[in-house]
Amino acid sequence: MENCIFCKIVKREIPGKIVYEDNEIIAIEDINPQAKIHILIIPKKHISTILDITEDDSSLIFKIHKIINKLAKDTGCSENGFRVVLNCNKDGGQAVYHIHYHLIGGRKMDWPPG
């Protein structure tokens, strides 16, 4: 998708600090981290919002969850805990319209979120 920063990172047109990659998924460090650990898990396929996910994406979405688990363990925040966030549209605070899961850890999270 043209003019999508995450598609551009996938295609290496702009830089990203890649911490995981396979044929379907990339994970990068967030450029503006909100905690010690803040990783974005991004499908290479351009899907604009969670509302655009279809049945065909089932295995992709499962795989994303497996990678989140792996990254949480690898970064050492799985035991204490962490937060996974997927923002949707304006009120959800979505800024980049290519779905991405925030893995945030390394500190105690507040609830309710801001």
Catalytic positions, written as ranges: 100
3-state helix, strand, coil in the chain (%, to 5): 30, 20, 50
Options 49, 75, 78, 87; binder of ligand AMP; rule CB under 6 A: 87
Options 30, 44, 50, 83; binder of ligand AMP; rule CB under 6 A: 30
Q: Are 106 and 35 in contact (CB under 8 A)?
A: yes
User: In the complex, what is the shortest distance from the CB of residue 28 to ligand AMP, in angstroms, rounded to a whole number?
Assistant: 5
- Per rule CB under 5 A, is residue 5 in the interface with Zn ion? no
Give the C-alpha separation, 95 to 62, whole Å: 24
Window 32 to 51, contacts with ligand AMP (CB under 6 A): 32, 40
User: In the complex, what is the shortest distance from the CB of residue 33 to ligand AMP, in angstroms, rounded to a whole number?
Assistant: 8
Q: How many CA within 13 A on the CB side of residue 67?
A: 25
As given in the structure block, the two tokens for residue 23 are 């044929």
Q: What are phi and psi of 111, to 5 degrees?
A: -145, 135
Residue 67 binding: pick among Zn ion, ligand AMP, none (C-beta 5-8 Å cut-off by kind): none
Binding site for ligand AMP (CB under 6 A): 5, 16, 28, 30-32, 40, 87, 93-96
